[in-house]
Amino acid sequence: RGIPMALVNARMSARAARRWARAPGFARRVLSAFTLVLAQTEADAARLRALGAPGAACPGNLKFAAPPLPADAAELARLAALVGDRPAWVAASTHPGEEALVLAAHRRLAPAHPGLLTIIVPRHPERGAEVAALAGAIPAARRSLGGDPEPETQVLVADTLGELGLWYRLARLAFMGGSLVPHGGQNPLEPARLSCPVLTGPHTWNFAEILDRMAAAGGLVRVDPGPDPAAALAEAVAAMLTNREQGRAQAGAAAAVAAEQAGLPDRIAAALLPLLPGPVDGMAASGGDRAVAPETSGPPGERT
C-alpha cells in the first residue's frame, strides 16, 4: 500500500545475525522493506547492513535519552526520614543466584558499617518471598507486605514494580543485577541519571557499548568475581561506602555519559518527518479526509 516503514533503535545481536544469515533471501526481503533503519550501535548497524538493510545508520541509542525514573516525592521524603544517615546500597533487578551473593556480601559488610541497609530489588517481584527467605537470620522486610526500613531492618526486599526511582535516590550506590550470573546485565543508565554510583559484574553483553563508554569516562566499577564472588562484591561496595568523594566523582562521570544523547529524540523525529504524508499528497488541500494510496503490485523497494 506504499506505507513507509521505519525500524527505530534497532538491535541485532551477533547471535541473532547468525540465525538470520541462515535465510539470506528472507532477511534481505524483510529488511529491504524498511525505508529507514536506525540502529542502537554501529555494530548493530553493520550487522543489519550485511543482512539486507544497506542504509542502516546509527544516530545513537534511545536508551541514552530516556528521562530519569520517577519517584513519588512524598514517599521519597518519608523513606529518606526512615533511612536517615544509614549507609544504604541497592542491588537492582537481581536474578536467581545473585540474591544469595548479595546477602553474603551484606554479612561481610555489616560489622564494619553499622546500620547498613541492603535493598534488594528482584527483577521479578513475585520472587519476593523466596528472596526474603534467603535472608535467614538477617532481619528483613518485604515492601509488598508494607515493610519499611525500620531501625532493626537490615535487608529490605523491594518486591514491587515501578519503584526503582525511589531506591536509586535513597542508596549510596547501585549494583546492577543480571551481571554476576550469565544473564547479560540490566540498564546502568537508570541509576546514572540519578547520580547513583554504579557497580556491575562481568556478564554485561546486553549493554556492552554503554558500559564501555561509562568505564572509559570513569563512571562505573566492574566487579571481578574471582573464586569468591560475594567477597569481591563486598569489597567493591565497601570501597564505595567508605570513599564518598570517589562515589560522587564516579556518579558525575556516569551522569555525563547518560546525558550525551539528550537531543537524540529530536534528531530521530527529524529523520522520521520526511516519511509522513505532506498536506498535498496525504491530505486534501482543503483539510479534508486523508487520501488513500492505491495498491501496487511491485516489491516493497519499488513502492512509493
Which tens digits make up the pLDDT trace of 114-146?
Answer: 999 999 999 999 999 999 999 999 999 999 999
pTM of the predicted model as reported, rounded to 2 decimal places: 0.82
Query: What 3-state class would DSSP assign to 92?
Result: strand
Which neighbouring-strand residues pair with 119? 90, 156
Nearest-angstrom CA–CA distance, 123 and 229: 20
Distances (CA, A) of 13 to 30, 45, 137, 170: 17, 10, 43, 35
Which neighbouring-strand residues pair with 6? 36
pLDDT tens column, 94-106: 999 999 999 999 9
- pLDDT number for residue 262: 85
pLDDT tens column, 8-63: 999 999 999 999 999 999 999 999 999 999 999 999 999 999 999 999 999 999 98
Is the pLDDT reported for residue 301 higher than 90? Answer: no
Decide: 135 and 118 in contact? Cβ < 8 Å: no
The mean per-residue pLDDT over the stretch 249-261 comes to 92
Domains of the chain: 6-61+263-280 (no CATH), 73-259 (3.40.50.2000)
- pLDDT number for residue 294: 36
Distances (CA, A) of 109 to 88, 114, 176: 11, 9, 18
- pLDDT number for residue 279: 67
Is the pLDDT reported for residue 288 higher than 60? Answer: no
Decide: 204 and 185 in contact? Cβ < 8 Å: yes
Is the pLDDT reported for residue 295 higher than 50? Answer: no
The mean per-residue pLDDT over the stretch 197-204 comes to 97
